[in-house]
Each structure stands twice: as C-alpha cells, then as structure tokens.
Amino acid sequence: MPEARFQTPCDFLQQQLGTLPAQDLLRDYQAWWKATGRELSESVDRAGTPWLRIHDRTGQRCDEILLGTGYRQLLTEGYRRGIIWRVFAENSLLSGYLLGYVTAFNDPGLYCPYTVSLGTAVPLFKYGSPALRKRYLEPLLRRDEQVWQGATWMTEIKGGSDLGANVETCAVQSGSRWLLSGEKYFASNVGAELAVVAARPEGAPSGVRGLALFLLPRQRHDGSLNYLIRRLKDKIATRSVPTGECLLEQSEAYLLGRADQGIYQILEVLNISRVANAVASVALAQRALSEALQFAARRQAFGTSIDRHPLLARQIRERKLGLELSFALAWEAVNLLDRVWQQKPPYSADYHLFRLLAHLAKYWTAEFAVQTAKWAMEVHGGLGSLAEYPVERWLREAMILMIWEGTSHRQILDGIEVMQRKNAHNLLLDYLAPHVAESELCDWRQQIEKYLELPKEKIEEDAEEFFARLARFTAVVLLQRGLQTCSTVRQ
C-alpha cells in the first residue's frame, strides 16, 4: 500500500517537520477540504470560470467580476481561517504558508488570491502611513465574508521580466495622492478592492531605479471606479481566478515607501509570491504523487499491481525523494523569509541569503512540479489525459507555476546576480557549513568562484546546469539536516 505520509498534506508536513505547527488548525482545514472543498474546487475548475459584467442596467460602467457561489465559499474559508490575518496577529508568516500548502494540495490556483492579498497587505503594513493602514489594512485582515482582497500588478504588454524597460505606467503627484495612467496586461485577482502597482513617477529616471510602488484602491474617493477592466483572460489553468487587463486613467493611488527605493519594495512583493509559488509547487507535486501512488497500487498489469514493476517502483522512490528535497528547499525559503520580511533597505546579509534561497527554491520546485505532474499522467496511461479525472488538471496548474513571478530563466539569472553583487553564494555555503564536510564545502567554493570568473556570455550560457546542481546540493544538505532534527524531536 502507498505510504500514508504521502497521501495527505498534514501527514507529509508532520513527517518533514518532526512536529506539525498549528496542528488542530491545519488538520481541521484539511478535513474541510475533504468533506466540502474538493467537490467545490472540481466544479469551479470545470464550470465556474468567472466572467465580466461591464455595464449595469442603466448603461453605467460597473466592471463587476461575477464569481460562482462555490468559488466564494472556497475563498472565504481560507481567509476566515487566517491565511492572511494570522501573519499579523502572530507576527510570523509560518501559519500563512502552512495554510497555503494545504490549500495548494487541493487547489493550487486558489492559493493565488491569498498570495497576492498577502503581497498587498505586507507593503501596506511596512510602508503605509498610520492613516493609510487604518483605512486599507484593517479590511484586508477581516475574518468573515466581508474581507477585502488584494492584488499585485506589475506586468504590462511587453512582458514582466524586464520591468525597467517594460513598465510604462506613469504617476503624477496630486496633493497627498498620485494619479496613475497606463495598462496592466496580466492583472491577477482583478476586481480586488486593493492592488499594489508598479509605475514610474513623472521625471523619474529610466530603468528599474525609476520605478515606484503604489497602493491603488478599487474605488476613488467619490465612490466611482478607479480602474477599468478591459477583458478577462482565458487561461489553461487557475480557471477560477480572474485574470484580466486593467486600464488606469488618472487612477488615484498612494505611494508606498520612498519613490527612489521603489524597486526594493517591488522585489519584496515578488519575493513573497515566489516563496508561495515554491510552497504551492511542492504541494501540487505531492498531490500528483498521491494520485499516482493510489492508482498504481490498484491497477493490475501482467499479473501484479503496476507499482510492483521494477521500473515504476524505482521511479516512485525517486519521486518520493524528489518531493522531500523540494520541500526542504521551499520550507527553508519560508523560514528565511520569516526572519527578514519586516526588514527595509538597506538589507542585512540574511536578506541576501534569503534572496538566493528563494530563487533556488522557486526554480527547483516549479520544475519538479511540472515533471511530477507529467509523470503522474503517464502512470495513469490514457486515463490521465481525460478531463473527467483530476490528473490532467495538475499538469495544467503546474505549467502556470513555472511562469508566475518569474520564469525559470529569470530565477536562474537573478540568483546568479545576487551571487555576483551580494556574495550570496558564500553566505549560503557558510549557512550550510555545519552540515557539510569541510572538503566538500571547499570544493563548492572553488567551483563557484571558477564559474563566476567566466566571461559574461559563458556564465549565462552555462547558467542552468550550474544553478540546478547548486539547487540540488542545497536541497540535499537541508533535507539531511531536517531528517536529523526530526529524529531528535521524535526521540
């Protein structure tokens, strides 16, 4: 029979962590998903796609996102249990990411609105004035169906990776507010009551140094619409989450932080989402593995269940190990972010260490999720391609996780940049040193220094092979350390 710890998110989390924080909260949430949430999620994925009502009955623009009842129930459950408010009540991100893991095991797309809501609340908490926090943060932390949602809008039509060149939304100061004009092409969770938006203040320099981060309410001071929704996107996955194109026309907004440090605030928001993406990727991979294990134990071929066939049995062992390695990377990124999420520029060495871990984790886990979902489909054979079963959905969802908050290419190149500019590789090796033989550590230092001395073009050409090896090395060390810790806890 399949190992029980791979079948449910809470059992796997407890196995990997040695003890399950907020155990009653998480197991109760897991039980709700089994009893109610999964059926709602499946129906939303098949037939619950949101749609846009542009005008009301009088012909006035209303730009209302119409969502199915099941989707609203799904959303409210996570908010009510504290996927956002607990972060601020407990002064820690851990419960939020654990609730996110259970969510993503059942519905990876649903974790998106929670993530961007957190990505709105954190910069508002850190950089908003007391009056701004009272007016806009409190509704984001409600514990009922009246909770507000957030959104993070950076990407425009030319793409998201090169923000310095592609963000054309401009901002003009008007008293205590700013007026934003431009278009956001991939606006996830469109229709949210609040969004944090990247824009370039009038007269600011070109490139990323000229960008600033703004808080954009859904409604102006006079109650009218503050942004317009041109259309909703038809996506291969995360079908329930409304993603649209937004038009900003003299839209009222508030500057968060200093205008000349906007790129730092923007990257802080992206890093929150990148860590959530890594957590969601591991949870999705566990779900795909769980489905495959259960099916393989029941499916008979050539006189025995297919999980006993040597080739598949080996692949199962490899997938289980890969899942544990991926979780070790993702959870370390969570722990490091929990240390530094309230820091402001200039950042500490811990923050730069976190940045490298976040890039390694986002890259490695997203790739693993896609490959695991693909493998799970293969285990199911032709049944895996049918929409009437859940397996094909996990591959659709995984493909989105490779794109969100920066592709694998972006993670690799940004990870190498933080090594070059902030010496993050030595910070990482020092961090891992207590758990690595001195000879292996020296070998890695030499390998990295040799690699970073290559010509610029060669560094980029060889980047993926190098980054993948570093990610696996880091994951192996973290897993071994975690297993030792878990063993001590159980004793």
* Exposed / middle / buried, residue 133 (Cβ in 10 Å: 0-12, 13-18, 19+): middle
Dist. CA 396–CA 392, nearest whole Å: 7
What is the architecture, at CATH level 2, of domain 152-259? Beta Barrel (2.40)
> Which CATH fold topology does 264-490 show?
Butyryl-CoA Dehydrogenase, subunit A; domain 3 (1.20.140)
List pLDDT tens digits, range 118-137. 999 999 999 999 999 999 99
Per-residue pLDDT of the chain (491 residues; tens, 9 = 90+): 577 788 999 999 999 999 999 999 999 999 999 999 999 999 998 887 899 999 999 999 999 999 887 899 999 999 999 999 999 999 999 999 999 999 999 999 999 999 999 999 999 999 999 999 999 999 999 999 999 999 999 989 887 777 878 899 999 999 999 999 999 999 999 999 999 999 999 999 999 999 999 999 999 999 999 999 999 998 888 887 899 999 999 999 999 999 999 999 999 999 999 999 999 999 999 999 999 999 999 999 999 999 999 999 999 999 999 999 999 999 999 999 999 999 999 999 999 999 999 999 999 999 999 999 999 999 999 999 998 888 999 999 999 999 988 899 999 999 999 999 999 999 999 999 999 999 999 999 999 999 999 999 999 999 999 999 999 999 999 999 986 665 444 44
| Preceding amide of 346 cis, omega within 30 | yes
Q: Enumerate the domain spans of the chain.
A: 4-140, 152-259, 264-490
* Exposed / middle / buried, residue 88 (Cβ in 10 Å: 0-12, 13-18, 19+): middle
Q: How far is CA 48 from CA 9, 37, 45, in A?
A: 25, 14, 6
The predicted pLDDT at position 355 comes to: 98
Q: What is 260-286 written as a DSSP string?
A: GGHHHHHHHHHHHHHHHHHHHHHHHHH
* Exposed / middle / buried, residue 272 (Cβ in 10 Å: 0-12, 13-18, 19+): buried
The predicted pLDDT at position 425 comes to: 98
Q: Which of the 8 DSSP states describes residue 435?
A: G
Q: Which of the 8 DSSP states describes residue 484?
A: H
Class of domain 4-140: mainly alpha
List pLDDT tens digits, range 249-258. 999 999 999 9
Name every residue whose Cβ is closer than 8 Å to that of residue 196 and which is 6 or more positions away in sequence.
Answer: 119, 120, 123, 124, 150, 151, 152, 153, 213, 214, 215, 216, 256, 269
List pLDDT tens digits, range 176-193. 999 999 999 999 999 999
What percentage of the chain has pLDDT greater than the value 70? 98
The predicted pLDDT at position 389 comes to: 87
Report pTM.
0.96
Q: Mark out the alpha helices in 341-423 (DSSP H runs).
A: 349-380, 391-401, 408-422
The predicted pLDDT at position 490 comes to: 45
The predicted pLDDT at position 334 comes to: 98
